[in-house]
Amino acid sequence: MKNYKVFILFWLSQSISQLGSAMTSFLLVLWTYEQNRSAMSVSLMSFCNYVPYILLSLFAGTFIDRHSKKAIMLISDSIAALCTLAVLVLAVSGRLEVWNIYAVNVVIGFMNAFQQPASAVAVGKMVPKEKLVNVSGMNSFSSNLVNVLTPVIAAFIYSFGGLETILLIDIISFLFAFFVLLFAVHISEEYEYKEKTSVLSGTVSGFRFLKKEKGLLFIMITLAMINFFSRLTYENILSPMILSRSGSSVTLGVVNAVMGIGGIVGGIIVSAGKASKNNIKMIYVSAAVSFLSGDLLMAVGRNSVMWSLAAFAASFPIAFIIAGQNVILYDRVPEEMQGRVFAVRNAIQFSTIPLGILLGGFLADYVFEPFMRSDNLLSNALSVIVGGGEGSGMAVMFLCTGISGSVISVLSYRSKEIQKLK
């Protein structure tokens, strides 16, 4: 029996755990960038997380459909927490190095390949269909509230407790969420996939389902392209660009906070049921607006005010994109197939993220930044638009993704297969 109140308890505990993890990630990014002042080093952190996540997602779907979603979440979260504990031990002993963080991110990526699809299926088992849009809005609200609180709380705690205190808080928040899930949350397992086949065959069946549901497959492919352009910049270039152009971690914290506020406002509107009933339009128009208003403003910005406006404009539409896709997926994918389909979705939709992250760091350090330091007609013309000096090359990258991402969003919306889902 579906119980919306149980989901709220689950959502609250997971949000608290997410805050602890986000504070750790925020400070580790700053710590890594300060070691060598390289955007590529920050890119590799995300790259090491996403690649194992995507590779294992191809095989995780069958396992998820066959086993307890609750047990999968408990075990995968526990292993991720042990990684945080390892970082804490290394930090306390003074032996923490950048490669340690890369290794930990690989393990966490593997665990996320199980945890995230299992959580998505579990939500479908806990929440009535008429509440799915509200749930998507709640998730956007909490994740963006975390983005707002993370830099403020992390900076405050770090100022007197150091990285070790942040890591300890992360572990405590995990324990809270773990025990809530273990003792207070019941997840129905009545629709289980019992067919005795190979792990890979489950992935094949997920692809077969999507081959019949071409509209769903096209949405995943087009969102994969959108993810590529967004990850060229936001995932790994935003922090180095603002740090290099402003020289202030406070400015970075403000921009990240405003980005979270944009997501919160979007999440509130979605959770209140004020989103468009045309889910296809909600996905792609929102994506185009995010690229046009967010990336282009981020490119021409020269101060915290402009960067903050850009951050709000970029993040506000995200809740609508997620809600639109979630409603379509839960409506068209049978419950007994969701583990496999969601795992395949993750593999397809996020497959471009590592490439975008790695390419973004490379282009920033070795192409755009050196190019903007050169003296030629094009670089001088671009300097009029984005400004000069350190970080201007990364600003040009935002200019490129703003144009490219919006074009992809509009073309995707016009797809005949996608329009059939309306």
pLDDT digits (tens, 9 = 90+) for 77-105: 999 999 999 999 999 998 999 899 999 99
Q: Is the pLDDT of residue 197 over 80?
A: no
Phi, psi dihedral angles at 66 (to 5 degrees): -85, -20
CATH 3.40.50.720 fits 4-184+200-419, yes or no: no
Tell me what the mean pLDDT of segment 132-159 comes to.
82
Q: What is the pTM of this model?
A: 0.76
Name residues whose C-beta falls within 8 Å of residue 376's C-beta, 6 or more positions apart in sequence. Answer: none
Euclidean distance between CA atoms 370 and 373, whole angstroms: 5
Q: Is the pLDDT of residue 198 over 70?
A: no
Q: Which of 87, 242, 243 is nearest to 171 (CA)?
A: 87
Q: Which of 47-51, 81-85, 190-194 has the lowest mean pLDDT?
A: 190-194
Euclidean distance between CA atoms 350 and 407, whole angstroms: 20
pLDDT confidence band for 259 (50 / 70 / 90):
confident
Run of H or E including 277: none
Residue 52 to residues 32, 126, 333, Cα–Cα distance (Å): 21, 28, 25
Tell me the domain boundaries of the chain.
4-184+200-419
Nearest 5°: CA angle at 235, between 233 and 239?
A: 80
Q: Which of 174, 175, 176 is nearest to 20 (CA)?
A: 174
Q: What is the pLDDT of residue 335?
A: 79
Tell me what the mean pLDDT of segment 295-301 comes to.
94
